[in-house]
Amino acid sequence: MSSTATTRMRADDLDPDLRRPYRMMPPVAVQRAWQRRLANRAMRLAPAPRLSDGTTFEVVDFDVPGTGVRVFTPAGGSGGALLWIHGGGYVIGAAQMDDRACAGLAARLGITVVSVQYRLAPEHPFPAPLDDCLAAWEWLQAEASVRGIDPERVAVGGQSAGGGLAAALVQRLHDRGGVRPVAQLLYCPMLDDRTAATRAHDPRRHFAWTNRDNLLGWRSYLGAAPGGADVPAYAVPGRRADLAGLPPAWIGVGDIDLFHDEDVAYAEALRAAGVEVTTDIVPGAPHGFETIAWSSELAKAFRGRAEVWLGDRLVRA
């Protein structure tokens, strides 16, 4: 189903496996500054992750306040690593909210997972969040030898706005030269500000992240109204013209996610540029279902397919 449909979404649009989790989910509240502050405070209070199979966990703070990484190191690692970037529409979110996923990936694949805590808009608009992700990449590369990581077997991944930052970071590292990511793992990535500028999406009232939320997110991140004729390089990965030479990509998204159309368009543009792309489109799945409906069979299968793809590029290559 295209996300440009104009009728308002209903529970019947959801896969039956997802209806209960989304019915119980409180509305996303990001329009007011106090709402964002409250959400961010709650996310940072998430309990420490449960670790298994000898995986260890540490927090590393950077010199810039509010930035750093959370590092999940498996016992007897394979030498591969993933730099992970959390979501939140560029305006909310914390690395802590993905601890469970990061710890699980580290243990099951035997890879080091480095989860980025980046600054948020509107207080810190572009390029600050992307600069923080670049700093995390550079930290990982500098630490690779002492942590048993092969610096040339590192992937970059993220969800939602984190997926957008991951795609932008891959582009920036490609242009800079030197060691580059070997793969990009993009869950429902937030890639193109022109979606937010399209008022025809508003009546659809998408689950979890509406186009009204999207407008706020992009306006906060860009410091300007989205959809303008020009945007700074790397600010909007979906607008980049030359995608040749980028690493293989996995792009997963639900077919009733607001970002469905822009994600499919980016996948097609990558493919046309000669980049290896795997797309995973899930019928009846809205934004963030792999996290919101964590225990559902649909979400577990989706995450499992992504994990196999990542393992093929970091562990079994």
Q: Pairing relation of β-strands 68-73 and 56-61?
A: antiparallel
Element (H, E) at 55: none
Q: Could you confirm whether 287 is annotated as catalytic?
A: yes
What Å distances lie between residue 30 and 8, 253, 258, 260, CA to CA? 20, 22, 17, 21
What gap in Å lies between CA 139 and CA 245, rounded to an integer? 24
Catalytic residue status for 2: no
32 burial via Cβ count (<10 Å: 0-12, 13-18, 19+): exposed
138/279 Cα distance (integer angstroms): 29
- AA letter at 177: G
Alpha carbon distance 119, 37 (integer Å): 13
265 burial level (CB within 10 Å; 0-12, 13-18, 19+) = middle
Beta-bridged to residue 59, according to DSSP, are 70
Q: Catalytic residue among 78, 160, 220, 296, which?
A: 160
CA-nearest of 245, 220, 190 to 3 is 190
Distance in angstroms (rounded) separating the CA atoms of residues 115 and 200: 35
Pick the catalytic residue from 213, 257, 261, 263. Answer: 257
List 15, 99, 287, 296, catalytic entry: 287
Please report how the helices 161-176 and 128-143 are oriented relative to each other, as an axis angle in degrees rounded to 10: 60
Asked about 257 being catalytic, the answer comes back as yes
**Stretch (H or E) spanning 285:** none
d(CA 162, CA 160): 5
- Residues tagged active-site: 160, 257, 287
